[in-house]
Structure 1
């Protein structure tokens, strides 16, 4: 029988409240609770956090690559393992490897790789995010327009076949290339339908949300803006309480002032949560890489095509949390929720992840008081030590 562990000497944030002079008690990969050290069972293994911060592990629902690997280039279980390990260095304990618009065959191999990653219990693997190919040409961003197309019956069948395979499955689509009926069919099976890369208007987004769409992909980017007569996708995302919205917190994709306005304006219960939209550069020394045969350049915290079009982000989750806390002047607990509790809610995995509560997975990060990495723990096991 595995001995229980207790993480001692930390200031603990459970996703709701801070706890001082308490310990986090684990049994295997599950949290037993937060309690006084004097109340620990006999024989508990003690692990000191050295007076640092212990917070819920970060959950990233949009990760295109890491560790020098792009999911579009490699879809096998080893590629997924590399991506998850690269992001664990920065506190991410659960993520959705994300396939950017590609061919039917590449998508099929991605799903097969994800099934294998699930079977092998790859640490940090939560499921898949298929971003495209059913997007709007007008708001394509860095997606290859030659690969963008309407969702046909075979596409829908492939999506529905993924239902229940993973802890979470997300699909980004645009109303221009998917129908309300297709969105409802996917949502009814538990697939997280996210609306993005779309130039449609407010009323259409509301209609698709009523059909079951749950999130909006990288708020402000690749979507119709908030206007005074047409609120656009941005207005619908902020005004529609049922919708959650991911946002890239790097100061490049969205101006901090716009981020602050959005956070103050969002109707609930849906929340704005942090995504990295990270590419293969995270955890690597790459200066460039290729996507669908086009070179993407890494310069000054930006990733761009040759014409300057932004192509994903060069930021990790911990840096995103620091940005939200320091540049947006958010309380640290709220910045942490945007990287843990809120994405867990959006992905429908809050019964297992996103907070440090009894019965949930023992996924957590130990940070210095200056928000630098100490260690990352997934399922009660330390997977990274700075």
Structure 2
């Protein structure tokens, strides 16, 4: 076996930092974290100039990137383009996300994901955000395409999960029954409640039936009231539920995010998502979403994306920027911010061989400088262009 040895940076293994150490990689997998002077004979030494070597970032919600939206063309080529658009920002695994669309588009996205996951080019599964959402909390989605879950949908999702692996579906609690949630969850489909105007009682029923997550906490859902806790309150209170959060300075006020980080029951249950659109990794300033123009408005921590009526339409943030936001505005340590982009999303998605640097893990890596800027990324030990 030919070894690669990464030296010269602090190593973050997904839980803690290692100083004066090297990362040993062989056959695309982590072999060990060893003492700096313990280099296998004949190894290729990759010398890093300071900074941090971390597991590659994992993003469970990516609508687009590199100038392409998945909805525009749900194909393997689009998925590769989106993954490559986010690679310079440290994301080595992502779930291309199809927002509410037709049945034909959903079927095409599933078929594309089957091929894309096999290609090992950064696509780790598929996220279907719709069409089983609530029109009352539609956000930038098309309400006319939203509908309840039918038993044929359950069967289709289960078949897709068997072929894809990591299949995440966002559903409103109003559009799915606890029986359907249980059937999906028992088959390994990851059910996340989102775009929902449900009561906390209905949310708890979905969680108790097996729903594991909440999609972009606070956004497009019933809010926390002192007598009506809504989906936000149920998500924060339920100890087994994971919550994705968009930390870009536009989707959620940092005070609300800091409150959720302090209040969430259950250990390590909040993780970063970008909810990124096609402009990440692109020089364009607008794009078309379901026939509507979405434009970039500059200002704040990063730009925001809005429809003509001012509705937020996904984000313009990348994962490295999200980590910087967490450290700067959310009072997170660098270690915890990194966990929220690596270890925690891997656990949520069931990607047991990534999100950490324990022996046997995929050598999906990102090198960051002291300003939390990406210097290089590797997928299975291969340096990304």
Q: CA deviation at 1:164?
A: 2.4
1:307 counterpart SS class: coil
Q: Is the 8 A contact 1:247 1:275 kept in 2?
A: yes
Measure the CA separation in 2 of the matches of 1:54 and 1:359.
Answer: 17
Measure the CA separation in 2 of the matches of 1:264 and 1:38.
Answer: 41
Superposed CA RMSD: 1.0
Q: CA deviation at 1:222?
A: 0.4
Large movers: runs of 4+ above 3 Å: none
Q: CA deviation at 1:270?
A: 5.5
Q: Is the 8 A contact 1:65 1:279 kept in 2?
A: yes
Q: Is the 8 A contact 2:151 2:180 kept in 1?
A: no
| Residue in 1 that maps onto 2:207 | 209
Q: More deviation in 11-20 or 82-91?
A: 11-20
Q: Is the 8 A contact 2:93 2:123 kept in 1?
A: yes
Question: Normalised by the size of structure 2, how large is the TM-score?
Answer: 0.97
Shift in alpha-carbon separation, 1:55–1:380, aligned structure 2, 3 A: same
| Residue in 1 that maps onto 2:139 | 141
Q: More deviation in 39-48 or 54-63?
A: 39-48
Q: CA deviation at 1:76?
A: 1.3
Show CA shifts across 1:326-363 (max 9, x none).
Answer: 111211101111111111111111x2111111111111
| Residue in 1 that maps onto 2:307 | 305
Q: Is the 8 A contact 1:243 1:270 kept in 2?
A: no
1:124 aligned residue (122, 125, 133): 122
Q: Is the 8 A contact 1:242 1:270 kept in 2?
A: no
| Residue in 1 that maps onto 2:368 | 367
Q: What is the number of equivalent residue pairs in this alignment?
A: 381
Q: CA deviation at 1:118?
A: 2.0
Q: CA deviation at 1:269?
A: 3.6
Q: Is the 8 A contact 1:270 1:346 kept in 2?
A: no
Q: CA deviation at 1:29?
A: 1.2
Shift in alpha-carbon separation, 1:329–1:269, aligned structure 2, 3 A: closer
Q: Which runs of 5+ in 1 are unaligned?
A: none
1:97 counterpart SS class: strand
Measure the CA separation in 2 of the matches of 1:203 and 1:276.
Answer: 29
Measure the CA separation in 1 of the matches of 2:319 and 2:294.
Answer: 21
Measure the CA separation in 1 of the matches of 2:58 and 2:168.
Answer: 14
Aligned positions of 1:1-386 closer than 5 A: 2-121=1-120, 123-269=121-267, 271-300=269-298, 301-349=303-351, 351-384=352-385
Show CA shifts across 1:127-176 (max 9, x none).
Answer: 00000100111101000011111112222221111122224110000111
Q: Is the 8 A contact 2:272 2:322 kept in 1?
A: yes
Measure the CA separation in 1 of the matches of 2:159 and 2:165.
Answer: 14
